[in-house]
Amino acid sequence: MNSAHTKLFYRLNQLRFGIFALLIFALGLSNLNAQTAISATLTTDSTHILIGDHLNVKLAVKHPKSVKIVMPAVKDSIGNMEFITASKIDTINDPTNETLAQTYTVSAFDSGQFHAGPVAVFFKNSSGAWDTVISNAIVVDVNTIPVDTMRPFKPIKGPLALPYNWRDLLPYVLFTLLLLVIIIAGILLWQKFVKKKPLIASRPMPKDPAHIWARKELKKLEDEKVWQKGETKLYYSRLTDILRLYLEYRFNWLALESTTEEIQATIDNYKMKDKAKDNLLQILRFADLVKFAKQQSMPDANIKAMESAYKFIDLTEPKEDEEKEKKS
């Protein structure tokens, strides 16, 4: 390779490098311009407050309309100042740009020099990636209330004694009367609608004596041939109801609402023979098995249950002297 070709090759390499450097510079400049087109600025009402006072800090983010902006979500603090509340985001438009503005209320509870900000604002750049622009920070002086230590301390004053006025007491009197009326009305309504009524209402006595009434009812149940029609559970329900009502009419024993176990526990309180007690309890227990345990009952057992019921009536039928006592 001669000297002329060498010089030409060297100049071409220089030209290529210059073009490459120019492209890199142009890309960096365009990205810089995109970022510098977005600004985040903090402003305040004042840079001096007293301890506990509120200070309004306004954040204004100016950006091209084509750029997506995410305003910061402030929760606890801005800089090292306590965050109190935030206003809604206002939007200001011009032909090419848009400005988002939001005001934060902050405070400080100690004296000294504080700073509000900086805050970070996220945006999506031209390449589609998320980027950040950082706002300025504002220095705020927080001062205490000046106290003249040369003056003596004044004693604490007690509360002022004001005379009572009947108009001041009237709301309390009316409230007390209204409360009493509500309590009395509540008690009356409870007694009328809520209070439990006796579970057992008095039933009218039959015209016939208890033993005659019971025999008539048993005969009626026999004639209807209930269990012969396949309704065994109904047969035993009616049979035991007749016996329970007989206990009520004969001994003044409210047994219709009592279970077999309850009848067994209290049967000794009534004057009847042991054989009658055993007879009654056997009928009730077997009836419970048929009604609740779905035990199959054979025809002989159904007939025997009716015979036992008649026998129980015979064993507990009042004697002549007892009838005379009742009539007298």
Least confident of 177-181, 193-197, 240-244, 310-314: 193-197
What pLDDT score was predicted for residue 162? 72
What residues does each domain of the chain span?
39-143, 210-321
* Cα–Cα distance measured from residue 275 to residue 34, given in angstroms and rounded to the nearest whole number: 111
What pLDDT score was predicted for residue 150? 78
pLDDT band for 29, please (50, 70, 90 cuts).
Answer: very low
pLDDT band for 191, please (50, 70, 90 cuts).
Answer: confident
Find all residues with CB under 8 Å of 41, minimum gap 6, and list them.
59, 60, 61, 62, 135, 136
- H-state helical runs in 69-149: none
Q: Please write the tens of the pLDDT for every residue from 137-176.
A: 999 999 988 777 777 777 887 787 777 777 777 888 889 9
Percent of the chain with pLDDT over 70: 83
Decide if pLDDT at 36 tops 60.
Answer: no
Beta-ladder partners of 63: 98
* Cα–Cα distance measured from residue 96 to residue 50, given in angstroms and rounded to the nearest whole number: 41
Q: Please write the tens of the pLDDT for every residue from 282-318.
A: 999 999 998 888 888 898 998 999 999 999 999 999 8
Does an H or E element contain 101, and which? strand 97-107
Placement of tokens 């009730």 in the chain: 284
Does an H or E element contain 216, and which? helix 210-224
Cβ atoms of 303 and 225 within 8 Å: the answer is no
Cβ atoms of 48 and 58 within 8 Å: the answer is no
Q: How far is CA 303 from CA 222, 225, 228, 234, 291, in A?
A: 9, 11, 11, 15, 17
pLDDT band for 129, please (50, 70, 90 cuts).
Answer: confident
In terms of Cα–Cα distance, which of 122, 94, 116, 113 is closest to 103? 116
Q: Please write the tens of the pLDDT for every residue from 44-64.
A: 989 999 999 999 999 999 988
CATH of 39-143, one of 3.10.20.80, 2.60.40.10, 2.40.30.10, 3.30.70.1450: 2.60.40.10
